[in-house]
Amino acid sequence: MSRRHAFVTGAGSGIGKAIALALAGSGHAVSLAGRRAAPLEAVRDEIHASGGKAFVHDGFDVTDAEAVERGVAAAIEAAGEIAVLVNCAGEAPSAPFEKTDLALWQRVLSINLTGVYLVTQAALASVRRAGNGRIVNVASTAGLTGYPYVSAYCASKHGVIGLTRALALELARTDVTVNAVCPGFTDTPLIDGALETISRKTGRSREEARASLARSNPQGRLVTPGEVADAVSWLVSQGAGAITGQAIAVAGGEIL
């Protein structure tokens, strides 16, 4: 299952970057998809420096169907059929529900949910042609429970898990598996918005806010991007062929 083509969205930072590095480390050729070239190029250079193979696909806006189609086609042309698809692009703005206007609501669902739909639609035929295909959607514990001040994010991630389960059943008699990983609070740039909101609303420092998020994890810490990447690496392996339609929490026991 190594030395195949993996396509990762949101690959320039955080969890997406960790997943791209892990897949490259296990021998996959990795297509790095995202909107901005500079962070993707930095990840590519890191992969190349360690002897791996990676390709940059910038200008990849998961909310733009035409950009998605172009990016997926370019990736297939550069590295062959996509055997592993990881949908990781996402956004997590924070606001009370009464201040969550329609523009914010639509933007979050467009990126986090419709983006997964568009990329998977564009790549699925290739994943099926590759054989033993793997699709992993990066959801969140917010797709398994609720959190205050992130109603749009929770709704979008619940939708990602629903899509994951439906597609897994549609493909159950093929050799393609579809799963979701659901990180808890993870030490990435995406968490900065949550820290800012907690600080603003409570008057606590960012360090105190970070500690409060860590306390939500029974292990008393934030999850690391590498731990999420390890879960993805297992799900795309040969040994996980019987795992499909699952939403696996990577959260230190927060969700049971």
Sign of the dihedral through C-alpha 27, 28, 31, 34:
negative
CA gap 143, 160 in Å, rounded? 7
One DSSP character per residue, 140-178 reads -GGGTS--TTBHHHHHHHHHHHHHHHHHHHHTTTTT-EE
Give the residue numbers annotated as catalytic, written as ranges.
153
Segment 132-165, tens digit of pLDDT: 999 999 999 999 999 998 999 999 999 999 999 9
**Token digits for 31?**
């297509």
Q: How confident is the model at residue 208 (pLDDT cuts 50, 70, 90)?
A: confident
Where do the structural domains in the chain lie, given as residue ranges?
Answer: 5-184+222-250
User: Of 209 and 101, which is predicted with more confidence?
Assistant: 101
Residue 66: how many other CB atoms lie within 10 Å: 9
- Domain 5-184+222-250 class, CATH top level: alpha beta
Segment 214-237, tens digit of pLDDT: 999 999 999 999 999 999 999 999
State the chain's mean pLDDT as an integer.
95
pLDDT at residue number 206 = 79
> Which of 70-79, 122-131, 197-206 has the weakest average pLDDT?
197-206
Please compute the mean of the pLDDT values over residues 197-212 and round it to a whole number: 80
Q: How far apart are the first and last CA of the chain?
A: 31
Q: How confident is the model at residue 2 (pLDDT cuts 50, 70, 90)?
A: low
Rg, the chain, Cα only = 17
pLDDT at residue number 136 = 99
Q: How confident is the model at residue 205 (pLDDT cuts 50, 70, 90)?
A: confident
